[in-house]
Amino acid sequence: MAEIQIVDLKEDSCRFLLSDASESLANSIRRAMISRVPTMAVDFIDIYMNTSSMYDEVLAHRIGQIPLKTDLEKYNLREECVCKGEGCPSCQVSLRLNVEGPRIVYSGDFISDDPDVVPAYDNIPIVKLKEGQQLMLEATARLGFGKEHSKFQPVVACGYRIVPEITIAENCTSCMECVRSCPRNVFSSDDGKVSVKNILECSLCMECVKVCEEDAVKINEDTGKFVFYFEVDGSMSPETVLREALNFLKSRFTELAEMVEDLS
């Protein structure tokens, strides 16, 4: 049974270890985090006034990319909402912007109808206005999935590496060549003996195997262990992204199991 162990958890990033898993499961988790966890993003804009040097389309595109704080308990997916996709306070939020130059317009200038759905960062520059230039618009945000558009992705970086098993054979002469050649300081040379101290850092570059004249360094890549690292865009916490991705996979696997059950 696959297991997840959190190695390092920060406000906007997380490193965790997945063990007893296949590569396809590891990749499913990665893909679910990128494309199957919904987040809020601006999807529709009414521009009342734009005398800035930026075209409406470019402006709308920039605003769409601003990460918004997302509370998944509070909002419905528009297509699953009681309004049947028409748009209502249960599935969308309005954010207004009314700014006059000269100044730079920042994400923090938006006034949201819901104080819980605001830009994750206040200091994202949108456009620079000169004297007399004005921007007045109303943006509508809704929940969406990364598979639809990258602006709905809750993660900005997400990947994993195989965690190998490195063994040092008896014939090791403690020449320390492997310790010196490793670019990621995986080995330790304490007490004059080579040992593995930082296995999660190994990127499988195989330098240690190449430099060992005695062929004493053996690397096994088939361990069923993977180390994940991902960063979130501020819309929600790393724990929420991981939990939601796993919930998605769980429901998909349950569905599949039921389909298989029906076949037999």
Measured from the CB of residue 138, what is the shortest distance to Zn ion in angstroms? Answer: 17
Rounded to a whole number of angstroms, the minimum distance from the CB of residue 84 to Zn ion is 8
Distance from CA of residue 254 to its chain's centroid? 24
- β-sheet with 155-162: strand ranges across: 3-9, 13-19, 226-232, 155-162
25-45 burial: b if 16+ Cβ within 10 Å, else e: bbebbbbbbbbbbbbbbbbeb
Stretch that binds Zn ion, among 89-97, 134-142, 220-228, 245-253 (CB under 5 A): 89-97
Q: How far is the CB of 140 from Zn ion (least distance, A)?
A: 12
Instruction: Select the span of 87-95, 122-130, 153-161, 163-171 touching Zn ion (CB under 5 A).
Output: 87-95
Check residue 80 for interaction with Zn ion (CB under 5 A): no
Give the Cα separation of 65 and 104 in Å (integer): 17
9 binds Zn ion (CB under 5 A): no
Instruction: Check binding of 93 to Zn ion (CB under 5 A).
Output: no
DSSP per-residue codes, the chain: --EEEEEEE-SSEEEEEEES--HHHHHHHHHHHHHSS-EEEEEEEEEEEE-SSS-HHHHHHHHHTS-B---TTT---GGGSTTTTS--TTTEEEEEEEEESSEEEEGGG-EESSTTS-BS-TT-EEEEEPTT-EEEEEEEEEEE-TTT-GGG-SEEEEEEEE--EEEE-TT-----HHHHH-TT--EE-GGGS-EE--GGG-----HHHHH-TT--EEEE--SS-EEEEEEE-SSS-HHHHHHHHHHHHHHHHHHHHHHHHHH-
Choose the stretch contacting Zn ion; rule: CB under 5 A; options: 59-67, 76-84, 164-172, 198-206. Answer: 76-84
Q: Is residue 241 at the binding interface for Zn ion, with CB under 5 A as the rule?
A: no
> Residue 150 interacts with Zn ion (CB under 5 A)?
no
Options 90-98, 173-181, 212-220, 248-256: segment touching Zn ion (CB under 5 A)? 90-98
Nearer to Zn ion, 90 or 203 (CB): 90
Q: Could you say which of 83, 157, 169, 206 contacts Zn ion (CB under 5 A)?
A: 83
Q: Rounded distance, CA 9 to CA 94, Å? A: 32
Binding piece for Zn ion, criterion CB under 5 A, among 31-39, 82-90, 158-166, 221-229 = 82-90
Contact flag: residue 88 with Zn ion (CB under 5 A)? yes
Looking at beta carbons only, is 46 or 79 nearer to Zn ion? Answer: 79
The smaller minimum CB distance to Zn ion, of residues 90 and 251, is found at 90
For the bound state, the minimum distance from the C-beta of residue 93 to Zn ion, rounded and expressed in Å, comes to 11
Q: Closer to Zn ion at the Cβ: 32 or 81? A: 81
Q: With CB under 5 A as the contact rule, which of the stretches 85-93, 100-108, 151-159, 180-188 interacts with Zn ion? A: 85-93
Q: Of 51, 90, 150, 195, which one interacts with Zn ion (CB under 5 A)? A: 90
Q: Does 81 bind Zn ion (CB under 5 A)?
A: yes
- Which residues form the interface with Zn ion (CB under 5 A)? 81, 83, 88, 90-91
